[in-house]
Amino acid sequence: MKELIDKLEKQHILSKEEYTTLIKNFTPEISEYLFEKARNVRHKYYGHDVYMRGLIEFTNYCKNDCLYCGIRHSNKNADRYRLTKEQILDCCKNGYELGFRTFVLQGGEDDYFTDEIIVDIVKSIKQSYPDCAVTLSIGEKSYESYLAYFNAGADRYLLRHETADNEHYHKLHPHNLSPENRKRCLFDLKKIGYQVGCGFMVGSPYQTAENLADDMLFIKKLQPDMVGIGPFIAQHDTPFHDKENGTLELTLFMLGLLRLTVPNALIPSTTALGTIAPNGRELGILAGANVVMPNLSPVSVRKKYLLYDNKICTGDEAAECRFCMQNRMKSIGYNVVISRGDAKQLGVRN
Ligand code: 5AD
Ligand code: FES
């Protein structure tokens, strides 16, 4: 097992069988061995810096019906909301004053927000905050739409691939959604010139170790700038309400493998990880992650953007999360920095 981790550290890739062996057989001791190597690589590129992204959850309307997600179209209990352009710009203003230099606009797939409206919002944010990066996370769109947002000034795009295995994809999504289109979107985004983020849930229903190995190989092929992963957490109003949650241990192990597989990637320690364990986000950083994404959404809507149960930080003001995060990172020897936090290029040391 240790030899496989040594090999991954040197070559940044393993075969599907090798990844699978590690994922099936890891122990606390092997995990520690992996995390130490993951931290070394992370320190080489990013030192002890932790990048912050201000997350603005601007609509929880969604036309899709992903089986795991609390804001799926069929969830009649979801209390739907949309932020206005003015509210979104207010979040950015608040965020800018708190030191955020990246704003992530995330929402369900909501046709109310036409390309024209998104373009207008992106342009306004970039005009007011030219030193900030704008990241969009609004789902599957056409090449033309992605191009229009990019030309308006959007810098980055997050679209988790969810699972690289087509059969597994169909177990998590209704049949009008296809893994082929999801992947098409990711390659279109790269082609246009976005910094692209993909990712997946750890421990999603029906996931196998082989699926996770395929996720690593897919990521190697896509070469994303960012990879977001977090544990699957059941949401009580979804078809997966009685499925088991992903574990802390496996999520951390996958974070370590990711860091060695894509050494210079921007990897968040996610809110979902902080939800399954009180110090989950700190442990994520110690396993190789280098980004945190505190929420900038108005407190009035936070309890409505519930993709999964027991989500943390839903009662806290942006400033509280900002400083809470700073303290959490400090407690483990890391510093949140005021910076756009772009990816470092391979081979360039800090
Ligand atoms: N548990 C954990 N993560 C979830 N997501 C959606 N629903 C859940 C859930 N129940 C993740 C998906 C999506 C991202 C925005 O949140 O991976 O891409
Ligand atoms: Fe939100 Fe700690 S990060 S309260």
Query: Is the CB of 324 inside a 6 Å radius of any atom of ligand 2?
Result: yes
In this predicted structure, the answer to whether residue 127 has a pLDDT above a threshold of 60 is yes
At residue 51, the 3 state secondary structure works out as: strand
Token duo for residue 206: 């029906």
Tell me, rounded to whole angstroms, the distance of Cα 11 from its chain centroid.
25
User: Interior CA angle at 345 toward 43 and 336, to 5°?
Assistant: 45
Tell me the CA–centroid distance for residue 319 and ligand 1, in Å.
Answer: 25
pLDDT of 348:
53
**Is 117 exposed, middle or buried, given 0-12, 13-18 or 19+ CB atoms closer than 10 A?**
exposed
Residue 347, pLDDT > 80, answer no
Closest ligand 2 atom to residue 328 Cα is 2
Say yes or no: CB of residue 308 within 6 Å of ligand 1.
Answer: yes
> How confident is residue 350, by pLDDT bands cut at 50, 70 and 90?
very low
- Note the pLDDT tens digit of each residue in 181-240: 999 999 999 999 999 999 999 999 999 999 999 999 999 999 999 999 999 999 999 999
Tell me the pLDDT band of 346, cut-offs 50, 70 and 90: confident
DSSP letter at 24?
H
> CA-CA distance, 230 to 76, in Å (whole number)?
26
Cβ of 164 below 6 Å from ligand 1: no
* Averaged pLDDT for residues 139-163: 98
pLDDT at residue 128 is higher than 90: yes
Annotate 58-95 with b (16+ C-beta within 10 A) or e (fewer). Answer: bbbbbebbbbbbbbbbebeebeebbbeeebbbebbebb
Q: Give the model confidence (pLDDT) of 45-81 as tens digits.
A: 999 999 999 999 999 999 999 999 999 999 999 999 9
Examine the pLDDT at 115 and tell me if it is beyond 70. Answer: yes
> From edge to edge, which strands make up the β-sheet containing 195-202?
54-59, 102-107, 133-137, 156-158, 195-202, 226-231
Question: What is the CB neighbour count within 10 angstroms for residue 280?
Answer: 21
Range from 105-114, 139-148, 149-158, 314-323 carrying the lowest mean pLDDT:
314-323
Q: Is 50 exceeded by the pLDDT of residue 109?
A: yes
Among protein residues, the one with the nearest Cα to ligand 2's atom 3 is 321
CA of 245 to the centre of ligand 1 (A): 12
Give yes or no for residue 202 CB within 6 A of ligand 1.
no
For the CA of 322, the nearest atom of ligand 2: 3
* pLDDT tops 50 at residue 32: yes
How far out from the chain centre does Cα 199 lie? 6
pTM reported for the whole predicted model: 0.97
Ligand approaching nearest to the C-alpha of 316 = 2
Report the DSSP beta bridge partners of residue 195: 156
Rounded to an integer, what distance in angstroms lies between the CA atom of residue 238 and that of residue 271? 20
Ligand 2 atom at minimum distance from 292 CA? 3
With a 6 Å cutoff on the Cβ, whether 316 touches ligand 2 is yes
Rounded Cα gap, residues 141 and 129, in angstroms:
26
> Cα of 79 to ligand 2 centre, how many Å?
23
Distance CA 127, CA 137 (A): 20
Strand segments (E) across 291-345: 291-292, 335-337
Q: Ligand 1 within 6 A of 14 CB?
A: no
In our burial notation (b when 16+ CB lie closer than 10 A, e otherwise), range 208-230 reads ebbbbbbbbbbbeebebbbbbbb
Q: What is the mean pLDDT of residues 139-153?
A: 98
Q: What is the mean pLDDT of the chain?
A: 97
Percent of the chain with pLDDT over 90: 98
For residue 45, report the phi and psi dihedrals to the nearest 5 degrees: -90, -40
Region 11-26: mean pLDDT is 98
In this structure, is the dihedral angle defined by the CA atoms of residues 293, 297, 300 and 301, taken in order, positive or negative?
A: negative
Contacts of 327 (CB under 8 A, 6+ apart): none
Tens digit of each residue's pLDDT (9 = 90 or more) over 275-323: 999 999 999 999 999 999 999 999 999 999 999 999 999 998 999 999 9
**Cα angle 70-74-77, degrees, rounded to a multiple of 5:** 60
Yes or no: say if 333 and 254 are a contact pair by the CB < 8 Å rule.
Answer: no
- How would you class 115 by CB atoms within 10 Å of its CB: exposed for 0-12, middle for 13-18, buried for 19 or more? middle
Q: How far is CA 202 from the centre of its chain?
A: 12
Across 99-154, the runs of DSSP E, i.e. the strands, are 102-107, 133-137
